[in-house]
């Protein structure tokens, strides 16, 4: 197989994003003939023992990587992160109704809005249910150095006496380049943390740093950034919160479509219906590789080293580059977003940004344009990227400044 062009290209797309070449080479072989079985992985029955072993191995490796205790189930689902915007809400409402035996009426659900993706999840919650409470909106603070990121103790949380059904947040905002500092969310008031199920969208930073699974009810992520190809969404959920929604159905929230019911997936080992075989397979290869390479702690060190190179360069040239996240501690280690300023006006300049994107493309550094909704530049340095790739970006930033 010819990998020459690939070897010369630095793909910094935000997702679907680059995957390790050795993983893809193994997957290519697996598509043709999986383990000498004479048939490819995408041609296997999902009921075969071969596939069941494959998914079990993927699950075990993920458990090791994230230190996931046995009280948590791991579900391999479809529908993307977007489906989880609805599924997390509905399943947590069912868990709440079950726990409270249908007493007490519709509970509040709390949402932390820190950027585009949590904003979308909040919007979906409001479409499906009320009362939905936005406990804080950090979007106005992110780009403004004079507006600190308020501590969770100051957020407008529902009172624990109201028995909120969940608190939702997004750990890393892929579009806005905002990432909560590790364990920031643990600063929630003690009683609130003990009593309210906490749901995290970790789609774009999973496996780049440890997550304290035990302090969450649900951690979910789509595969297509730090894990594998698009098509599988992984949900880690505390088993005691997984209930039969039809046994406790209340009129204040909609019935849950069958494929979104966590209990169906949990009771059937993610094989309630045909699962996304190929992305599960490739994700599993990625998990194995990460285990062999030293796990999440090592991935975190590598991510930090890569991101530091680029952020240091931004800091050195405030006349040219402006990070979109003003608060250094909250800058994403995965999605590094910044604007390029006009030399005269010192305002963000789309034409300068286009010039930088062009320079990158001429040097085979691709997919660095910011998300269409916010513009600017976005350098995504996920686990599959290397220090050399970050060095190449920095050398292009230097070249851009000189020119």
Which residues in this chain contact ligand PLP in the complex, by CB under 6 A? 15, 80-82, 117, 170, 174, 201, 203-204, 222
Nearer to ligand PLP, 201 or 353 (CB): 201
β-strand partners of 366 = 11
For ligand PLP, which is the closer residue by CB, 10 or 77?
77
Report the alpha-carbon distance of residue 263 to residue 192 in Å, rounded.
26
If one counts every other C-beta atom within 10 angstroms of the C-beta of residue 147, the result is: 13
The verdict on whether 61 is a catalytic residue reads: no
Beta carbon of residue 174, minimum distance to ligand PLP (angstroms, whole number): 3
Nearest Cα residue to 7 out of 390, 364, 285, 309: 364
Q: Facing residues of 73 across strands?
A: 237
In angstroms, what is the minimal distance from the CB of 170 to ligand PLP? 5
Q: What are the distances in angstroms from CA 7 to CA 21, 362, 389?
A: 9, 15, 11
Cβ distance to ligand PLP smaller for residue 110 or 243: 110
Catalytic residue, candidates 61, 171, 176, 201: 201
Query: Nearer Cβ to ligand PLP, position 80 or 348?
Result: 80
Could you confirm whether 52 is annotated as catalytic?
no
Min dist. Cβ of residue 375 to ligand PLP (A):
17
Task: Return phi, psi of residue 341, to 5°.
Answer: -95, 150
Label the pairing between strands 10-11 and 365-366: parallel
C-alpha 217/C-alpha 41 separation (Å) is 33
Whether omega before 230 lies within 30 degrees of 0, making that bond cis, reads: no
| Residue in 225, 263, 322, 369 annotated catalytic | 225
**Residue 81 beta carbon to ligand PLP: minimum distance, rounded to whole angstroms:** 3
What is the smallest separation between the CB atom of 90 and ligand PLP, expressed in angstroms? 16
* Known catalytic membership, residue 140: no
Q: Decide whether 132 or 320 has the Cβ nearer to ligand PLP.
A: 132
Active site residues: 117, 201, 225
């Amino acid at each position: 197989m010819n990998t020459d062009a690939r070897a010369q290209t630095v793909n910094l797309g935000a997702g679907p994003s680059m995957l390790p070449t050795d993983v893809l080479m193994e997957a290519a072989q697996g598509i043709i003939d999986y383990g000498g079985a004479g048939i490819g992985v995408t041609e296997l029955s999902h009921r075969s023992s071969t596939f069941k072993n494959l998914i079990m191995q993927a699950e075990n490796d993920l458990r090791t990587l994230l230190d996931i205790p046995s009280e948590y189930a791991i579900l391999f689902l479809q529908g993307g992160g977007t489906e989880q915007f609805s599924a997390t809400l509905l399943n947590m409402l069912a868990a709440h109704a079950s726990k409270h035996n249908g007493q007490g009426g519709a509970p509040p659900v709390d949402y932390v809005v820190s950027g585009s993706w949590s904003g979308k999840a909040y919007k979906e919650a409001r479409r499906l249910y009320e009362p939905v409470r936005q406990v804080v909106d950090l979007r106005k603070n992110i780009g403004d150095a004079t507006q600190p990121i308020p501590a969770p103790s100051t957020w407008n949380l529902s009172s624990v006496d109201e028995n909120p059904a969940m608190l939702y947040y997004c750990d890393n905002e892929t579009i806005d380049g905002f990432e909560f500092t590790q364990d920031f969310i643990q600063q929630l008031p003690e009683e609130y943390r003990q009593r309210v199920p906490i749901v995290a969208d970790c789609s774009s930073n999973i496996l780049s740093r440890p997550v304290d699974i035990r302090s969450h009810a649900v951690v979910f992520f789509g595969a297509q950034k730090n894990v594998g190809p698009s098509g599988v969404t992984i949900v880690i959920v505390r088993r005691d919160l997984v209930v039969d929604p039809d046994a406790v159905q209340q009129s204040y929230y909609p019935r849950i479509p069958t494929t979104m019911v966590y209990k169906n997936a949990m009771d059937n080992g993610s094989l309630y219906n045909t699962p996304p075989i190929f992305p599960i397979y490739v994700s599993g290869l990625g998990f194995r590789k990460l285990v062999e390479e030293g796990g999440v702690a090592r991935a975190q060190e590598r991510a930090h080293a890569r991101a530091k190179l680029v952020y240091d360069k931004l800091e050195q040239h405030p006349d040219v580059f402006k990070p979109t996240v003003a608060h250094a501690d909250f800058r994403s280690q995965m999605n590094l977003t910044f604007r390029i300023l006009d030399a005269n006006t010192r305002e963000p300049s789309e034409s300068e940004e286009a010039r930088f994107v062009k320079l990158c493309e001429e040097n085979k550094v691709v997919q660095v344009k910011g998300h269409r909704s916010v513009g600017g530049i976005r350098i995504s340095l996920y686990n599959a990227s290397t220090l050399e790739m970050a060095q190449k970006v920095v050398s292009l930033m230097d070249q851009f400044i000189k020119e």
